Chains A and B, each alone.
Chain A
């Protein structure tokens, strides 16, 4: 029983990380139908920039803020330099561009920073909190809370605000969006900067637990992608639920089967979802009449 509780807690923590990455996918996907595989790099940048800014003597909150802002700028640059010039290209080409961009960002991070693993102190210390016979790190609560906070924010943004609807409208029909007065170029800039900022925030929250190095983005992007597919791509609720489910599955597999198989879970999930329910749990069923 204690073991189960422990697996649940660690599954929740890892799941919240995946959920944060998956939430980052949501905005860019909603604005452009593009799955941005550089999303994991945003997480890495959030962690790395915070580490180096903190090491340079800045207080942690300020370092984190700088990391988030800089990463958002990288997101804007990705849109302006790589995605926008290819406007009109098929979505698959754009996705491949994001994969290319992720390689560039990873390479640049390796040159600008280094190849070591880094961390900075947890926000609220490292003393585990006892909970129903299991232990949880205070930083885990930050991660879970962060995922939930971003989820609420995105949910309100897309369902309650006109700007959020303008993002959805731009993805659905760029031409019509322009005709109702939406500056679609600005919507894309906004989407990439928000996505990147969410990714960076995830990096800031998880680095004290998982550590950060220039190449952590690949795995995170793939796991986050699996989580988003499981929950239903483009839906914040799907990202949250998909992420937590995937984290729990991983923790259970590692606990009851073997930790060797842990990483395979995400990919089995991707395959199963694609075969059995391509829309995911909360994915919109596309019914359109012409």
Chain B
């Protein structure tokens, strides 16, 4: 589904990704874990096209998308729920969701919105409120729901658990896990390594711009080095 080959990226002259290789197969939940500053978010930004790539290639569903502009990637089925939620704060919850389906204007939009409301009932209650007034957890739900409105084949999720209360984190992870049943492939970037690995099929560990370890989620959870460095066990 998604294949990344020797990806390099830089902010100005400072390179932050030094040749990342990564593979996501159709129907999988794959997670990228690692400490703050490891380059996880930069990797996702390269995939969605809002961060320039300085080397390597990205293939999505059999086509090279390395140079495809960000706004055209959703039409190909690649959707991102970005770091920091990035919802449209001056628009209502419903308008945010409608814009998530900006590319579409058929009947399925309404059905998808009902789906999103079923997934996150609190959004239905607040559908006419300004999104900027939602709590952090609600904004995160809105960001995920909006990303799903674009009918993605593959969803890129950046730190969905960041800054949320444990109960909400569990709820968000549950939703992510449920995406499998909807045929949405997921690439999940998380600092909460344990929570992410528990719902993932496979995982990658990133350190300072490189992938240092990869394997099935079960193997990674069992690995003593991972347990010590990221799981705090």
Chain A contacts to B: CB under 8 angstroms: 162, 165-166, 168-169, 172-173, 175-184, 284, 286-290
Contacts and interface: CB of A to CB of B under 8 A. Distances in A.
A182 B102 contact: yes
Interface of B: 48-50, 69-72, 74-75, 79-80, 82, 86-91, 95, 98-100, 102-103, 105, 130, 132-136, 146-147, 149-150
A166 B82 contact: no
A179 B79 contact: yes
B210 to A, nearest CB: 26
Contact of B70 (A172, A178, A286, A287): A178
Nearest to B135: A289
Contact of B100 (A180, A183, A286, A287): A180
21 contacts: A162-B98, A165-B95, A165-B99, A166-B102, A168-B90, A169-B88, A172-B88, A172-B91, A175-B50, A176-B87, A176-B88, A179-B70, A179-B82, A179-B86, A180-B103, A181-B75, A181-B150, A184-B71, A288-B133, A289-B133, A289-B136
Nearest to B105: A162
Contacts of A166: 99, 102
B82 A175 contact: yes
A169 B71 contact: no
A182 B86 CA distance: 14
B43 to A, nearest CB: 15
Contacts of A289: 132-136
A173 B82 CA distance: 12
A172 B89 contact: yes
Nearest to A284: B90
A168 B88 CA distance: 9
B150 A180 contact: yes
B12 to A, nearest CB: 13
The main secondary structure of chain B at its interface with chain A is mixed
B116 to A, nearest CB: 14
A181 B88 contact: no
A176 B91 contact: no
Nearest to B72: A181
Nearest to A30: B90
A288 B50 contact: no
B102 A176 contact: no
Contact of A175 (B72, B86, B89): B86
A179 to B, nearest CB: 5
A118 B98 CA distance: 48
Contact of A180 (B49, B69, B99): B99
B74 A180 contact: yes
Contacts of A173: 86-89
Given A162-B98, A287-B133, A288-B132, A181 B86 contact: no
A165 B70 CA distance: 19
Contacts of B103: 180-181
Nearest to B101: A180
Given A179-B48, A179-B50, A184-B71, A287 B130 contact: yes
A148 to B, nearest CB: 26
A182 B132 CA distance: 20
Nearest to B139: A289
A178 B133 contact: no
A184 B49 CA distance: 14
B90 A179 contact: no
A176 B99 CA distance: 10
